[in-house]
Amino acid sequence: MEADEEQQNWQQKGLALAGGAAVVLVAVIGGLYTILTSMQTPLHQNAADVPSVRQDPASPEWADEAEQWRQIARAGMVEWNLPGVSVAVGVGGELVWAEGFGWADVGKKLPVAPHMRFRIGHVSKALTSAAVGLLVEERRLDLDDVIQTYVPAYPHKEWPVRLRQLMGHTAGVRHYDGEDDYMPTAHCTRAADGVMLFADDPLQFQPETRYGYSTFGWILVSAAVEAVEKEPFFDVMRRRVFEPLGMTSTTTDSVTSSIPDLVTFYDPRLSGDPAFGPEVSSVVDYSCFAGAGAFLSTPSDLVRFGMAVNGGTFLKPSTVAMLQAPQPLLSGGETEYGLGWMLETFDRAGEPARVVGHGSRTMLGSSASFLTVPARGLAVAVMSNTSDAAVRQIALKLADALAAAPRPARP
């Protein structure tokens, strides 16, 4: 009997202690929540007050729709607490709207304008794929060649590594990993110089057995383009892609020279969450990433690029189809990635639509989302001057609104 009473007493004490611990835990969590909430730094109090700079001249045919798009961009900025956003929309081969929102420099209250340059990070791969497409059309480059055909300095591995596999992220070359990789300080004048960053690393898997995203793989692709053209990769891109397409604001990210119209780059100052406000990014030099992630651009230039590629005015339709086709795996399956293009199918305006483009939000100081709907002749690009920004959500909402909008009648 006494033993039973003692056991009950211990159980009651245990319950009391557990209850007390729970109360303390709730109090700690509540206190932490209060502290974190108090640390949140809204950059824009309400959507209506977000400053903007419009493209001049804008397309008058899309004025009503542009007001809806403007509201989407402003609402996204407030919801995700972004310092600045720049947006462009293209329809049927024409750039119909471009506008900047918020601050290019928060401290100076310098507004974002459509001509200002952002890091586009991984979106660079889509631009580089166009240069590869040109060389394939000219029969100066074969996607099924092993990479050493063009970049002999890259050591042979356990399995052959082919250009097509590198472009489709099925080659097994590793992605960047760790601070030294994604916060580089070395400067490269040629794409081939960047290959040395990972040349001696083993493959992570047998090519075509699975998909493994690799920015380093695209440095090899850039080096192959450079080797075929016999001039520095960035010069090739300027001469063969940017200048022919009127991409006058697209250039190389560099810390060795002053670049005009460049936004200030930020990162979320706490836990990768923009709600806690931005801090100025660390200085990094992405030149060694070459065509994998070293370009600066504007949404307008990306829209011009997307419309030219999908419109058949820059590459042959058969070449575009090849670049934008999912890649096969040895298992019989296929990836959701082409050769430099992310591939998705979404329900747009009540109908399934194939969406082709690219995104980037993990490289320091900027985020970009580039979407095209080839079947409808639509292109959308959204950029923000902070990493980890939800620009993809803004781009998808704009694509939805764009797909649902009736085409204005031409006079």
Whether residue 201 is found in the same domain as residue 340: yes
Q: How many domains does the chain have?
A: 2
Q: What pairing do the DSSP bridges indicate for beta strands 351-360 and 251-252?
A: unpaired
Per-residue pLDDT, 81: 95
Q: pTM for this one?
A: 0.88
Angle value at C-alpha 321, between 226 and 402, nearest 5 degrees: 105
Q: Please state, in angstroms and rounded to a whole number, the distance separating the CA atoms of residues 341 and 174.
A: 19
Q: Is residue 163 part of a domain?
A: yes
Domain of 20, in residue numbers: 1-39
Minimal CA–CA distance to 221: which of 120, 339, 336? 339
Residues 7 and 143 both lie in one domain? no
206 CB-near residues (< 8 Å, 6+ apart): 158, 159, 172, 330
Q: Which amino acid is at 274?
A: P
Segments in the chain below pLDDT 50: 1-3, 6, 21-39, 409-411
Task: Choose among 231, 205, 229: nearest CA to 217.
Answer: 205
The pLDDT of residue 182: 63
Give the pLDDT score at 60.
83
Q: Letter for the amino acid at 299?
A: P
Note whether residue 410 is domain-resident.
Answer: no
The candidate with the shortest Cα–Cα distance to 367, out of 389, 350, 348, is 389
160 within 8 A of 167, measured Cβ to Cβ: no
Q: Do residues 321 and 354 make contact, with C-beta atoms less than 8 angstroms apart?
A: no
Q: Is residue 385 part of a domain?
A: yes
Say yes or no: 29 and 127 in one domain.
no
- Contact (Cβ atoms closer than 8 angstroms) between residue 119 and residue 296: yes
Do 180 and 282 lie in one domain? The reply is yes
Q: What is the DSSP letter of 369?
A: E
d(CA 248, CA 298) in angstroms, rounded, equals 9
Q: Are residues 69 and 29 in the same domain?
A: no
Pairwise CA distance, residues 262 & 251, whole Å: 11
**What does the alpha-carbon distance between residue 128 and residue 322 come to, in Å, rounded to a whole number?**
14
Contact, 111 vs 305, CB < 8 A? no
Cβ atoms of residues 146 and 161 within 8 Å: yes
Which pLDDT does position 349 carry in this prediction?
63
In this structure, the answer to whether residues 328 and 379 fall within a common structural domain is yes
Quick one: pLDDT at residue 24? Answer: 41
Q: Rounded to an integer, what distance in angstroms lies between the CA atom of residue 270 and that of residue 279?
A: 9
270-290 residues labelled b (16+ CB within 10 A) or e (exposed): eeeebbbbbeebeebbbbbbb
Q: Are residues 163 and 231 in the same domain?
A: yes
Does residue 28 sit in the same domain as residue 97?
no
Q: Say what the pLDDT of residue 279 is.
A: 94
- Are both 221 and 342 inside the same structural domain? yes
* Domain presence at residue 411: no
Q: Using DSSP, how many helices (H) and how many strands (E) does the chain show?
A: 11, 13
In a domain, 376, yes or no: yes
pLDDT at 96: 94
Helix (H, G, I), strand (E, B) or coil at 333: coil
One domain for residues 14 and 80: no
> What is the rounded end-to-end Cα distance, in angstroms, of the chain?
98
Instruction: Identify the pLDDT of residue 313.
Output: 93
Is the domain of 218 the same as that of 111? Answer: yes
Contact by Cβ (8 Å): 311, 93: yes
The verdict on residue 377 lying in a domain is yes
Same domain flag for 18 and 117: no
In a domain, 1, yes or no: yes
Pairing of strands 266-268, 94-105: unpaired
At 195, which CATH number?
A: 3.40.710.10
- The per-residue pLDDT for 118 is 98
The torsion angle over the Cα atoms of residues 34, 36, 42 and 46, rounded to 10 degrees, is -40
Distance CA 166, CA 148 (A): 12
pLDDT score, position 255: 83
pLDDT score, position 274? 80
Q: Which of 46, 65, 71, 66 is nearest to 56 (CA)?
A: 66
